[in-house]
A and B are shown apart, each in its own frame.
Chain A
């Protein structure tokens, strides 16, 4: 089963980045864009259906710590690893996301546009535990320092999501939308609430041992679902999980004028309650290690020899407790926020004072800014972008983005949408700074999809 599941997971994520799908956001001709903002001013076709399994394929990665080229180049790989470890920031992280739309359907009913479907998603985020890596690669000898355990922080979740959304035209200016999601999952790992320190500090002239060594207020928790029985897991079990959760998306679009539009959405405001096939491991305690303290028993008085290190081991076991349970735990979805402002211009003018109508409001071009934020366990993953859109004859839609985020100081994105005779095909590439050689990329994402509109 392992290989099958891994192939399924790895088949589509050709490349990876950072969860924001800014190029798809507010593409009003594309029904898939409703997944980024259920309140988008969608053109509201009578009906749309995505190509099963191909209506949206998305993969992204982001790595603030290093690029593949930093690791593998003409220099000695161990020197490269040393350099990477030196440069890792305390909140440096690696993240990857992959999603695959299995079914996506939408239909117009009165002034409502309903959507429903199923998609599969894999999301993982891993903070580099800088102190722990130092301990593994360098050891504590000669370091004379304190190591923190709270750097240890990671999440991973494979889920299938069933969703149902409503998009409503309130009036010519305002669209609102929402979506309810049922999350199902059988595979999850989470370790986000860790704390404690390990100290190893020289104490050559004090009363205690040469090294002041202690583990202080250690509290590590590892939560997982499905790992113990991973080998027995079938593909069906992996795709459609038995742990359930619920979530919501909200969105809106508002035109101040015929040219000026503001849009916003909140996605994945939800959680999964894991209560089947779960395992929670917890390590808690404090311990002060001084080595073996010889006390020279009086052999002539038949005193026993002490097994000092066995006593140390016993003390450690008493002081640092490990607990294992199959209790339930909660996984909060990485909630996402989108906010954008745009101005339309160009193309045919619409100078009438008539009521605001459907697409297009005015102009075949847009200039705007958009902000994306995703809540990770230790930080907000933010992207601020400026964009320019242009449509050619309502057939080809293009979008160019210039953004700033944690991965690249500046990054570029390029999106294409083809809308021809009811066939909607799109292809978006974000963070393409190093597209000519992805070994140099800190981040990259790609999304494509095919839908039919009627």
Chain B
């Protein structure tokens, strides 16, 4: 009799244990939305350099690099937003235009952004000028950029001058991804 009670007690206890409630277990809404940032392009030059230029036209300083690494599955499938930040410090006493061009394999400009240095302290001449320019790309622009083949950056000034000073640009790119379950 005692044995039966013991066995019955063990059975009842074992059926009571390891309970879980009946909630819906749904992992389908899981999202990861990380944003990464990395240095993009840096350069600097003096007024003398841009006065001479590095192409036939003079007063234009230009360089380019391939960016085919943008066109990866991770960007095509999950890139949600893309932005660039340019920090510009110029003591060159004239206005400079910065021309950023993303060019595709057909040599077409897929995305372009033109910025210019400005005096920030009128009346004080061209004192050290530090600007931060940020721009976010639209969904269409993102697709154009990540399918671009190379990027060209040109800095130019209106005409040859006898100016002086230095120019420095630092930039970074920010990529936001969205992963969903």
Contact = CB atoms under 8 A, between A and B. Distances in A.
B163 interface: no
Interface string A130-153: 000001111111100000000000
Contact of B34 (A81, A135, A418): A135
B27 A77 contact: yes
B21 interface: yes
Nearest to A303: B54
Interface string A209-248: 1110100000000000000000000000000000000000
Contacts of A393: 2
A383 to B, nearest CB: 20
Contacts of A298: 54
Interface string A180-196: 00000000000000000
A307 B65 contact: yes
A71 B27 CA distance: 9
A438 B19 contact: yes
Nearest to A15: B18
Contacts of A76: 29
Contacts of B14: 427
Nearest to B32: A137
Nearest to A301: B54
B69 A77 contact: no
Given A292-B42, A294-B153, A418-B10, A211 B63 contact: no
Interface string B1-45: 011001100100110111111010111011110111111111101
Nearest to B9: A416
A309 B35 contact: no
B56 interface: yes
Contacts of A293: 42-43
Given A305-B64, A395-B2, A418-B10, A142 B17 contact: no
A296 interface: yes
Given A141-B36, A292-B65, A299 B29 contact: no
B97 to A, nearest CB: 16
A162 interface: no
B17 A296 contact: no
Q: Which among B42, B85, B87 has the greatest number of chain A C-beta atoms within 10 A?
A: B42
Given A292-B42, A296-B45, A437 B20 contact: yes
A14 interface: yes
Interface in B45-67: 45, 49, 54-56, 61-67
Interface string A288-313: 01111111111110000111111001
Contact of B170 (A141, A209, A435): A209
B42 A396 contact: no
Given A77-B29, A294-B63, A427-B10, A435 B36 contact: no
B181 to A, nearest CB: 9
Interface string A309-340: 11001000000000000000000000000000
A439 B41 CA distance: 50
Given A137-B32, A210-B171, A295-B63, A289 B38 contact: yes
Of B20, B35, B40, the most chain A CB neighbours within 10 A belong to B20
B21 A141 contact: no
A159 B109 CA distance: 61
Contacts of B45: 296
B42 A309 contact: no
Contacts of A289: 38-39
Interface in B111-159: 153
B3 to A, nearest CB: 6
Contacts of B2: 393, 395
Nearest to B29: A77
Interface of A: 14-15, 72-73, 76-78, 81, 135-142, 200, 204, 209-211, 213, 289-300, 305-310, 313, 393, 395-396, 416, 418, 420, 427, 429, 432, 435-439, 446
* List of 6 A-B pairs having minimum Cβ-Cβ separation, nearest first: A291-B39, A139-B34, A294-B43, A141-B35, A209-B39, A141-B37
25 contacts: A72-B26, A73-B23, A77-B29, A136-B34, A142-B35, A142-B37, A204-B170, A209-B42, A209-B170, A209-B172, A290-B42, A291-B40, A291-B172, A292-B40, A292-B65, A306-B63, A308-B65, A309-B69, A395-B3, A418-B6, A429-B17, A435-B17, A435-B18, A437-B20, A438-B18
Interface of B: 2-3, 6-7, 10, 13-14, 16-21, 23, 25-27, 29-32, 34-43, 45, 49, 54-56, 61-67, 69, 85, 87, 153, 170-172, 174, 176-177
Given A138-B35, A418-B6, 19 more contacts: A72-B26, A77-B29, A81-B30, A136-B32, A137-B34, A210-B170, A289-B38, A290-B42, A292-B40, A296-B61, A296-B62, A299-B56, A305-B65, A313-B69, A416-B10, A436-B19, A438-B20, A439-B20, A439-B23
